[in-house]
Chains A and B, each alone.
Chain A
Amino acid sequence: MATQHSRTAARLMISPAVILLLAWMIVPLALTIYFSFLRYNLLMPGTEAWTGWTNYYYFVTDPSFTDAIWNTLALVGGVLIITVGGGTLFALLLDRPMWGQGIVRILVIAPFFVMPTVSGLVWKNMFMNPVNGIFGHIATSFGFEPFDFFGQAPMASIIWIVSWQWLPFATLILLTALQSLDSEQLEAAEMDGASWLNRFWFIMLPHLARAITVVILIQTIFLLSIFAEILVTTNGGPGTATTNLTYLIYVQSLLQYDVGAGSAGGVIAIILANIVAIFLMRMIGKNLDA
């Protein structure tokens, strides 16, 4: 019943919601952009003045900026590889009928419900701590030197913690996708003489392609803004080893009280995120159409 009349009515009805959402988004965005062009330091109130592109210039030329970009890429890439690979593996395992399937599935999903700060702290203090952590204990009991995870391999440790959190999400989506695969296709392939590996490669993986795409898209958006895990474990260090873009903005605006530079960083982050998003959509859009 898409008559002219009903369409106008529908537009009228949803307009309050749309306007509210728009305002919700536009106001902070406009303010951030506005601040990014001001000299605005909380330690020197009352000295706000228009500075043009200076904030951007200093943010981008700061050596920690390049580090932050690389760290962000490493973090996103590392977590994506681990979660997509591991998620596929878990989905394949959970798809098989086994005893206690319901419980195992809930256990696998569980990490997703743990708050980022909590999981960061649990991993830091109970597992990876060289003195108190379980890994340290295991190492000592076998007569090895305990490994200082956050000191020796800070980025890898963060990647590990974040992967642990996101693995359930990937597993869940991939498992659902796998269950929607027509079993007759697998049987047909079996009769056609395909080994398990062949069936995985030629039947299951193409079927999963779309779900993997969705996992990559959604996770990338969230992984670009990882913050809590870094704050509670390494504080961006040692040096700038685990400072990603989000954390750098935090350091600028709240530790150095430089709202102007922080805002400039925010705007840069928005632009970068959009570039990544467009790039992903392009790459993946093809996949989704097919």
Chain B
Amino acid sequence: MGRITLEQVTKSFGEVDVIRPLDLSIEDGEFVVFVGPSGCGKSTLLRLIAGLEDVSSGRIEIDGQDATELPPAKRGLAMVFQSYALYPHMSVRKNIAFPLRMAKMDKAEQDRKVEQAAAVLNLGDYLDRRPGQLSGGQRQRVAIGRAIVREPAAFLFDEPLSNLDAALRVGMRLEISELHKRLTTTMVYVTHDQVEAMTMADKIVVLRAGNIEQVGSPLDLYRRPLNEFVAGFIGSPKMNLLKGAEAAKDNAATIGIRPEHIGISSDGGEWAGKVGVSEHLGSDTFFHVHCDGMAEPITVRSGGEVDFHRGDQVYLTPDPAQLHRFDDKGLRIE
């Protein structure tokens, strides 16, 4: 079981309000991802749930029990830190067994559980090494192993993959998703990697300056961003946001259109412009087009075979069905 409910939770460090009154409910077995710009309070929120920070006001419930005042160890949650936080002077085996040892479990049972976790995470060969003798990916696995053996109600991850190289990240991402499918335990995951958020989450929570901007499934957020911030934040490359005359034509303060929803051709279209930088990724090409009368260049995504060069005259045609409209407060207009 791992239902976590936050009610009107706030957190301030002295004068600074890091978390504004915030309600959130995380269902049992869900994979929830917190995303948001740096400094928006993702880690703080996770640490509040873990009990490593005290809430300034509000209530935290875990499985229906009030956990607001419970110390971290009593909440039954396990956390994987960005720095892994392995105990450097203990072997991998001892690291993984540490929570069991603290729970005064008997030795044979400890060994059995460690072996089990090691098998799940492919750590069998490294059990007698020290963390210092492991690669980044292996350390990450040990940290996860240490979390698994406790059989927690929920796992909390704080940017667990940000210290790994790109290839390893892809691998670990899959492994964590795999693990979630197998254990079906609630997982709360902090990241600022778009791809991690989109691929792993059942539910994404977008935070900005301590407020929740939107909660929803990845595709929900992608297709129907509730405000301009979420529209700009989710999706890579970013959605094009246009203000002024173009927006006024559609009776909005701002209109947004994703790069893949704009057609590009050399013959004719709605907006005329000149190609600036183009990024060729092989499968896709991103063109940054400077359109007449617009301040910002517009990003357009097209197939890898489309070939325009710097300075070419092109015409862009947005797909009207995929246009997002926002009012002067930045809220979505249906």
Contact = CB atoms under 8 A, between A and B. Distances in A.
Interface of A: 182, 184-185, 187-195, 198, 202-203, 206-207, 209, 290
A194 B85 contact: no
Between A192, A203, A206, A209, the greatest number of chain B beta carbons within 10 A of the residue's beta carbon is seen for A192
A213 to B, nearest CB: 14
A209 B90 CA distance: 14
Given A185-B87, A187-B52, A192 B81 contact: no
Interface in B59-78: 71-73, 77-78
A290 B89 contact: yes
Given A189-B98, A190-B52, A191-B50, A203 B87 contact: yes
B74 to A, nearest CB: 8
Given A202-B98, A290-B89, A191 B83 contact: no
B79 interface: yes
B108 interface: no
Nearest to A187: B52
B81 A193 contact: no
A200 to B, nearest CB: 13
A192 B83 contact: no
B321 interface: no
Given A187-B52, A188-B85, A190-B52, 4 more contacts: A188-B81, A193-B102, A194-B98, A207-B88
A192 B99 contact: yes
A184 B85 contact: yes
27 contacts: A182-B85, A184-B83, A185-B85, A185-B87, A187-B81, A187-B85, A188-B81, A188-B86, A189-B87, A189-B98, A190-B52, A191-B50, A191-B72, A191-B73, A192-B73, A192-B102, A192-B146, A192-B150, A193-B73, A193-B99, A194-B73, A194-B98, A198-B102, A202-B90, A203-B87, A206-B89, A207-B88
B103 interface: yes
A203 B94 CA distance: 12
A193 B85 contact: no
Contacts of A187: 52, 72, 79, 81, 85
A195 B73 CA distance: 9
Contacts of A198: 102
A189 B50 CA distance: 13
A195 to B, nearest CB: 8
Nearest to A188: B85
Nearest to B89: A206
